[in-house]
Every structure is written in structure tokens, then in C-alpha cells.
Amino acid sequence: MDGQVLRKRQNIFLLLVLLGGISGGRMLSFNGLPATGNVTENSPAHVLVHMFNVTLSPSLSEVVSGYPKIINTNPLTTAFWIVPGDTHTYKVVTTGDPVLDYETMPHSFDLQIYVRDTAGASDLQILTVHITDVNEPPVFHGNLAEQTVMIYILEGNRTPPGVIYQIYAFDPEQSQLTYSSSPVSESFTVSQTGTISSTKVFDYERDPLIYLLNITVTDRLGLSTSRTVGVTIINTNDETPYFTTKERVYRIPEEISPGTVVANVTAKDPDDPDGEGLISRLVYSIRPSNMHFSINPFTGVIYVAMRIDRDAAPLRLHPNISLVIRVEDSPRAGQTNEMEITVIVGDLNDNPPECSFYSFRRQVYETATAGTLLLDLKDDCWDMDVEAPNNEFNFTRLSGLGSNKFTLNSSGSGRIMLISDLDFENPANLAIEEYTLTAVVQDVAWPYYTNNIYIYIRIIPVNEFFPVFTSSSYVFNVSEITQAGSSIGNVNAKDKDLPFTGITYSIVEGGGTLSYTNIFWIDPSEGNLKIIATLDYETKPTYTLTVQASDTEKLATVSVTINVLEVNDEEPVCSANTYSLTIPVDLAVGTNIEGFRLECVDRDSTPRSFRYFINSGNMNNHFTFSPSSGSNISQLILASRFDYDSGLDTIWDYRLRVYITDDNLLSSSNRATALIKTGTVTLSIKVIPKPTTTVTTTPPITLLTRTENVYSESAWYVPFIISVGSMLLLGLLGYLAFLLAKYIRTYCAPKPKEDKRPLMCIFLPIGKKKVKKEVVLEMTKINTVFDGEARDPVTGKMYEFNSKSGARRWKDMNEPAEPGIKDPVEQGISAAPVNSSEGKDKMGNASKQEAGTNGRELAAENNMATKPLKGRAEMSSHDSLKLQKPKDGAGGRGSFSPGRSPVPSPKI
């Protein structure tokens, strides 16, 4: 409800209450009301706002129970109520619901307090309560507003330094907030935007497990609010277990019983220092597994798994058995650590010679020469027996496919050497890419224990030869009309290298034009040469390409010549393709029309190849070309006269479509199969019925205008500049037209619409001539709105005007625009007949008595319109009066046009 309406109703109600209160001589009133009270925002319940008293009369009356009370509030609210105090004393206090918030609620409330007594008297007063703004501390949002927030961070690189929490807070007064943390920690920072960031990577085993950050947000005036953010470091499996067993070497005799304990390996995990198994549980294993020993996966006890025999492999290699003990702190993908222990087994003198490797792989180029050392086995073999000759051995019996190309040194040193060539291209060789040889290592003492050694020798091919083309050069002939994608020939190259790895073909030079970078394409694997663009003999008849053959390392090139064979694929082109000609109707037959002739060229044909004929538009065959063939120049000849009189000819405008072909030198039988190209020229010929000039014996001068519209792609900027300039010119003209229209509308007022209502027609006699015509005056009141004012340059008075219609009136509303004419409505005149004598008398008296004041000054009344009934006087517009002379010589001379100041009319 609008505040003014509410106050009016309150005042009416108060008046009624007062009238009711004083009726019968009874009086009831407030003491302390009306008044204004103040209360701060966010006040709790029962905060005193205002205190007032109630005065009773007569003294025997009492306040009705439940009164005084608040019967209405503006705006509506339940934030206040009235509680009784001492005798006839009352308090206006807050209810606490809703909480008074200066930022979201109205800042002022009008409370209508009404009281009644038992005698029937009443009173109503207004208490205005203003809400006072107080600076409130900032408020946290989100989870931090209700509880302590716990943040959990994984230790290690899984949680890099950076933002870990965003604090959301706001200030009721929209003050800028600052954030801080206590105690100050090097591990965390709090930015001014409320982000908590970690500054390091945490280690569960070394850093505190819990950080308590007291986050304080402070407003501009120093009020602050604090909350606690807890950061808990989560333990992850990121520590490697470590062995606590120091001993690394254990000795046992051979043939020891299975199940005998050899060692007890122990370890601990830093992630589980107490061994409670919350993070990990250590598992032991031997990597790789060993057939002679086993380990308890949970205790780390190593025991003998089977009978140990040094004479069996792998103990023949050496008596020291190395075991890699792995400890893992998780069943899958956990942290691992390894420790190697050595178990020394007491041995007997019964071991054969052993080698660290029993298979060897070597690579050698096919170009290696005889005497090349491939492998020395001596350094890689040994005998575990301690005393000689049991620990002595040699190498013998080299065998295998291709062993005739290799040999063992006769001294038994184990040196394997090449004794023949390995060239793949040598027909005597088997071209084997890998040789498999077997050598034997043997004790020199009885019982001559032996072991076999396998040697794999891979022969690496060498790229020794360049590719060689099958021809020193290639020449291909191709028609210029061959379609793109067609094959035109193959190039081929050979390579003597074995094994054959293939040849890749490519075009490295040539084959381009101004329009195309590459005209040709070659299949990289097959050498098939194709065209990928259109050929043109007239543009380029020959192409020279450089084709390259590559075997990935060596290159060879060859020259390829491509001859483009000429084909009749160009059509005749004349100097222009359209002409406009005029001829007189009586032109003599055989005359060259306006001296017109065609000059044509053909890029692939001689001038004698041209033929000319009119394909369409040659009604009654009036026109022909001479010569009709065998020349690149031909004239247009009138072949027959025009006959319009008999009706044979009816067309005055001819449109000839002329075809120019390049097949004149072909016989009629060859034309059906030959490739023929045709050019086209259009002629527009207008026949003039009657020549406007006389034909003389002097040869006429013929002006031939030839127009050729040729567009070059390189001149793309010409249409672009023309288009942009045209658009700018049109925009400028449109803008100038807009300014002109605006000027005309501003300074040239539009002509008012014709008022179809009756106008006032006034007939004024001149001099002493009698007026015999009657004049009937009929006036109508018109309301006009005046939205401007100006000063009259003649009288110096201020007048008002209508900016649209031009209507005017004096600014003083009590003074009519024309002092000599009064409002006919005020005079009570609607229509009055006037005879000639009365008119003369009245007009004569007016001219004598009111000259210069009320007599002849006629102004256009802005709200007055007149309708002519008789006579010749007319109004030129709604707000101007123009006097015209009647046909018989009588009439007024004064006029008042729109847009001019009202001036006195000349005396009559």
C-alpha cells in the first residue's frame, strides 16, 4: 500500500478514535506518544525500544485487558510488541522474531498503538522506530560456518604444495576482509582471498600428524571471527622396508638334510614402525626362486629345500650360491627392498669346467675380412675345482652349419676367428644371415667333464651398390587432353645389394608450372608415372623431370622427358564476343555493314582453318559473311534487301549468333570424327526505317566501336575497390539525405492538416463602398496545447506557440491574442445575420473609435476557428486569419500568416 494512502487512513482512523474518545466528555490519551524510538540491529528479544504512559479520565475507568496494543505497522512486521510496566506504564520491546537486520530489512517502522478503557474511550498514536546499523563481525559460509573443518592430506608427492582449502566468508557491511592464521606455521599460508595453501610435501614419518590452524577473518573496522581448520596427514605406503639382519654369508656342507635352517632374515617397515600391520605386512621371498632353498614368507627363515649336490647344475658353476631375498610391504605393488646373501657349499673335487654364459650372440658385417676375431671364450669360463689339473680345461670341436668359415685357435684358448668372406653377393656363399656354432669346453683331466657352448653369429648386410636405372633416360609422349590421374609410363631401377630391401621413387625436380607446383606424380614403390593436373600444349609442350631412386642410403637419378602432343582443344577467339550495329533499310545488297569485320585467332589452328556461319537469328537470310572460310578475317555483308512493305520482313532488331569453327581444312568425312572447337560471337543489328541523313557519293565514315570485357585474376582489387567505394558513396548520400530531412523538419514547420470544421469568414468593406452581401459568423472553440514561448519582435510581448501546428497566443492568458476580437462564446454569439447598412455602420464606427486598439488589429486566435457561410473572407489555417478582396472590390487587406508575429492590420 502506498505510504501517503496509509497515512491518510491512519489520520482518518485517529480522528475517529479522537472523536470517539472525547464523545460524552470522556478523555483517554497517551503520554509519550507520538514519539520516535531507536533500536540497534540484531537486538535480542525484550530490548526496550520506547516507554509511554496512558492517562485515564475519569479515574474510575481502566484500560481494557490486552490494550494498548499494536494494531498495524508500516511496513508490516512482528518484531515489536508491548509489555506492561508500572501502573499505566507500558514498554515497546523487541520480540526477537524476526531478527532486525539493517542490511536486509527496512530502516524505519511506524507502529500504530491503540488503547481503550472500560469507559469506552480510545486513543491511537504513532511510534516511529528507527533501526540503527551496527558493525557486525564477518560471517563464515559453508562447512566452516557450523563446525571445525578437517582436511586430510596424503603424505608424499601425491599431494604437492598448493591450495588445499578455500575459505568462504562475508561481511554484512560489505567491508573488505583480511584473513590470517595462528599460530604462524611454515607449512601453511593463508592468502588475502581466503585460500589455505600447503608449502611443502609432508612426510608422515617425520612431520606432525595433525596441524590445527586458527583461521581469523577481520573486517575493515577490526571486528573478527575465528574458526579452527584441522589438517591431518594421511599415512601412505611410501617408505621402503629395510633389513635388520647384518650377516650376508652362510656356510653349509653339501649333502645337508632338507629342512635344515640356513639363515633367519629380518626386516622392518618405516610405514609401520610398531609392527601393528595397519599399513603393511612384510612378505619375504627369494627372487628368482632357488630349487635348493626355501624361505618362510612371514618369518624370513631360510631352510634347505632339497638335497644339495655340487656335481649337478647349477652348483657346477661355483660353490657359492647367491640368494636375492626380497621383502615387500604389501601383497601387490608395494614398496620392496632386496638383499643378497651367499651360501657357500663345501664341495668335492668332481666339478666340470663352467662358463658364465653358454650361449653367445655376435654380429659381423658381410664385408669383414679373414682373420677377424669374433669371440674369446676363455675369460667367460672357469672350473670350480681347487687343485690342478682338475681346474684346467680347453675348447675343442667347433661344429655347426657354416663352421668351415670359422675356427677355434689351436692352442685351446677359446678364440673364435673368421677364416672366409661372408659377402651376400658372392655366388659361392649360401647367403646365410645367421650361423649357429657349437664349441665344447672340456677338462684336461679324467673323467674329462664337458659342457657345450652355443655361438650365434648374425651377418649384417652392407649397402654396397647404388641403384641403377634400366635406361639412361626416359621419354614419354602424352596427349594434352589426357585426363588427370592417367598413367603415362614406368621407370625402373635395379639394386645388386642382397638381400633386396626395395627402392623408393620420387620426383625431385621439374614438373611444375606457374599454375601448378606439380603436374606429375610417381608411385614411390612401383615407379609408375601419372599426371595429376591438366596438360596444355600451347602453354608448355615439354616437361623435363628428374626422378630419384633411393634404397634408404644410396641415391640415383634419371632424366625423364615428357612430350605433350598437340590436340585441337583451343576454340577460336574473336576480338570481342558482342557487337551492336545499325543499318538503313535501303542499304544496297553486297555492302559491308558499317565496315564491320571479325578478326579471330586460334592458338592451335592456322587462319585458313576458320569457317564462319550464322547459326540463329538470320531471318530471311539477309546477312552473310565474306569470306565464309579460309581466313581469320571476315566481313559482314548484306545478302538480300529488306521488304517490310509486303510483309515479308517484320523484324527490325536482329540478334545474330555467329559460329566460328576451326575445321575448314578438314574434309566433310573427317569432320564427323575430328575434334572441332567453336567460337561464338553475338551481333545485335538494328534496321533504321528512314535514314536521317542523305547518302552521298562520298564514302561514308563508319565508326566501329568494339567492346571487350576481359577480367584478369591478378586485378582482383579493381572490383573490390569499386564495390567498397560505391558502398561508401551510398552511405554518404544517405547520411546527407538524413541531415537534410532533419533540417527541414526542424526549421520548416509542416503544413497543418486541413481543418474540415467550419471556419470564420469575415467580410470587411473598404472605404465608403457599400457592401450588399451578407456575412454570417460562426465560431468554434478549439483547444490547443502550447509547448513553447518566444518574444514578439514588434510589440515586445511574450507569446506562447505550438511547435507542431504553429498556433500562437499571448502569454498572459487574460489578454486575448487579438485585442479587437472577443471570444464569441463569452459574448454568447453563435450566428448573426448582418445587412449592408448595419455592417457599414458597425465597421465605420469601429474604424473611427478603435483605430490602433480595438478596431483593425486582427490576430489569429489559437483556439478559434471560423467557418465561412457567405462572402469571400477565408482563414488560411487554424491559427491565422487572411483577408481577401471579394470579386466586387470589397474586402479586407490585412493578413496574419503562421510563423510571423501578429501585427496590426492596415486601416480600412
Same domain, yes or no, for 127 and 203?
Answer: no
- Please indicate, yes or no, whether residues 156 and 220 belong to a single structural domain of this protein: yes
Q: Which residues contact 854 (CB under 8 A, 6 or more apart)?
A: 819, 820, 846
Q: Which of 70, 67, 76 is nearest to 109 (CA)?
A: 76
Instruction: Give the closest residue to 154 by CA, choosing from 271, 253, 79, 232.
Output: 232
At residue 899 the predicted structure's pLDDT band, cuts being 50, 70 and 90, is very low
* Within-domain flag for 717: no
DSSP state, 883?
A: -
Range of the domain at 38: 3-132
Q: Rounded to whole angstroms, what are the CA distances from 186 to 197, 234, 676?
A: 11, 19, 94
Cα–Cα distance, 526 to 528 (Å, whole number): 5
The residues pairing with 113 across neighbouring beta strands, listed in sequence order, are 70, 125
What is the average per-residue pLDDT within 333-352?
80
The answer to whether residues 332 and 446 belong to one domain is no
Given CA atoms 635, 639, 641, 647 in this order, what sign does their dihedral have? negative
Is residue 651 a part of any domain in this protein? yes
| Tens-digit pLDDT profile for residues 651-683 | 899 998 988 887 766 666 666 556 677 778 888
Cell readout for 675 is 575434334
Is the per-residue pLDDT at 609 higher than 70? yes
Which element (helix H / strand E) includes 743? helix 717-747
Amino acid at 209: L
Same domain, yes or no, for 265 and 124?
Answer: no
Q: What is the DSSP string of 419-486?
A: -S---TT-TTS---SEEEEEEEEEESSTT--EEEEEEEEEEEP------EESSSEEEEEEETTPPTT-
pLDDT bin (cut points 50, 70, 90) of residue 8 is low
Residue 732 lies in a domain: no
pLDDT of residue 430: 72
Other C-beta atoms closer than 10 Å to the C-beta of 612 total 25
More confident residue, 580 or 826: 580
Provide the percentage of residues in the chain whose pLDDT is more than 90: 14
List, for residues 776-823, the tens digit of each pLDDT value.
444 444 456 777 888 887 787 888 888 777 788 887 655 444 443 334
Among 234, 263, 285, identify where a domain stops: 234
Which pLDDT score, from 0 to 100, does residue 523 have? 93
**What is the Cα–Cα distance from 71 to 126, expressed in whole angstroms?**
11
**Residue 729: per-residue pLDDT:** 93
Instruction: Tell me the C-alpha distance between 687 and 638, whole Å.
Output: 12
- Region 382-404: mean pLDDT is 77
Does some domain include residue 552? yes
- Choose among 615, 612, 614, 605: nearest CA to 629: 612
Instruction: Give the pLDDT score at 748.
Output: 67
Q: Compare 472 and 843 and report the one with higher pLDDT.
A: 472
The amino acid at residue 409 is N
Of the two residues 326 and 810, the one the predictor is more confident about is: 326
Of 554, 506, 496, the C-alpha closest to 526 is 506
Residue 416 predicted with pLDDT over 80: yes
Name the domain count of the chain: 7
Cα dihedral 242, 243, 244, 245, rounded to 10, equals: -170
User: Given pLDDT bands bounded at 50, 70 and 90, which one contains residue 732?
Assistant: very high
Give the separation between CA 350 and CA 447, rounded to whole angstroms: 9
Phi-psi region of 66 (alpha: psi -120 to 50; beta: other; left: phi over 0): left
Tell me: do 899 and 757 sit in the same domain: yes
pLDDT tens across 193-235, in order? 888 888 888 888 788 888 888 888 888 877 888 888 989 888 8
Query: Distance between alpha carbon 492 and the CA centroid of its chain, in Å?
Result: 53
| Out of 259-263, 749-753, 785-789, least confident range | 749-753
Examine the fold and report which residue of 234, 260, 279 is the final residue of a domain before the chain moves on. 234
| Higher per-residue pLDDT: 24 or 793 | 793
Is residue 740 included in any domain, yes or no?
no
| CA 344 to centroid of chain Cα atoms | 75
For cell 479586407, the residue is 892
Report pLDDT for 418: 87
Cα dist. 629→178, 470, 663, 850 in Å? 101, 52, 9, 106
C-alpha cell at 701: 565514315
* Exposure string over 617-645, b if 16+ CB within 10 A, otherwise e: bbeeebbbbeeebebbebbbbbbeebeee
Q: What is the mean pLDDT of residues 421-443?
A: 82
DSSP 581-644: EEEETTPPTT-EEEEEEEEEE-TTS-GGG-EEEEEE--GGG-EEEES-BSSSEEEEEE-S---T
Say if CB 245 and CB 264 are below 8 A apart.
yes
* Residues 405-410, mean pLDDT to the nearest whole number: 81
- CATH number reported for the structural domain that contains residue 688 in this entry: 2.60.40.60
One domain for residues 804 and 904: yes
Q: Is residue 716 part of a domain?
A: no
CB atoms within 10 A of CB 732: 10
| 640-656: average pLDDT | 89
Q: Are residues 895 and 820 in the same domain?
A: yes
Average pLDDT, the chain: 76
Residue 827 confidence (pLDDT) above 50: no
Grid cell listed for 836: 449592408
pLDDT value for 762: 37
pLDDT at 489: 92
Query: Taking Cα atoms as reference points, which of 460, 387, 453, 456 lies closest to residue 414?
Result: 453
Q: What does the pLDDT read at residue 278?
A: 54
pLDDT at 617 over 70: yes
Give the three-state DSSP class for 489: strand
Is residue 777 domain-shared with residue 906, that is, in the same domain? yes
Please check the confidence at residue 455 and state whether its pLDDT lies above 70. Answer: yes
| Ranges 366-380, 390-404, 537-551, 777-791, most confident | 537-551
| pLDDT average, residue stretch 356-377 | 86
Distance CA 101, CA 224 (A): 19
Give, in degrees to the nearest 5, the angle at Cα 197 between 193 and 199. 140
Looking at residue 545, its pLDDT comes to: 92
CA 26 → CA 54, 90, 120, 122, 780, distances in Å?
A: 14, 22, 8, 9, 63
Q: Tens of pLDDT along 129-151? A: 898 877 778 888 888 877 888 98
Select the more confidently predicted residue: 893 or 433.
433
Among residues 522, 545, 565, which one ends one of the domains?
Answer: 565
Residue 105: is its pLDDT beyond 80? yes
Most confident of 88-92, 378-382, 495-499: 88-92
Is the pLDDT reported for residue 183 higher than 80? yes
- Selected residue with higher pLDDT from 482 and 776: 482
289, part of any domain: yes
80-95 tens-digit pLDDT: 989 888 888 998 999 8
pLDDT at position 784 is 61
829-861 burial by CB neighbour count: b if 16+ within 10 A, else e? Answer: eeeeebeeeebbeebeebeeeeeeeebbbbbbb
Kindly state whether residues 45 and 118 are assigned to the same domain: yes
Asked if the structure places residue 731 within a domain, the reply is: no
- Work out the average pLDDT over 559-586: 85
pLDDT, tens digit, for every residue of 284-323? 999 888 888 999 988 999 999 988 877 667 776 677 889 9
Do 580 and 687 belong together in one domain? Answer: yes
Residues 592 and 521 in one domain: no
Residue 273 and residue 228 share a domain: no
Whose CA is closest to 152, among 209, 190, 213, 200?
A: 209
829-872 pLDDT per residue, tens: 333 333 333 333 433 333 333 333 333 333 333 333 333 333 33
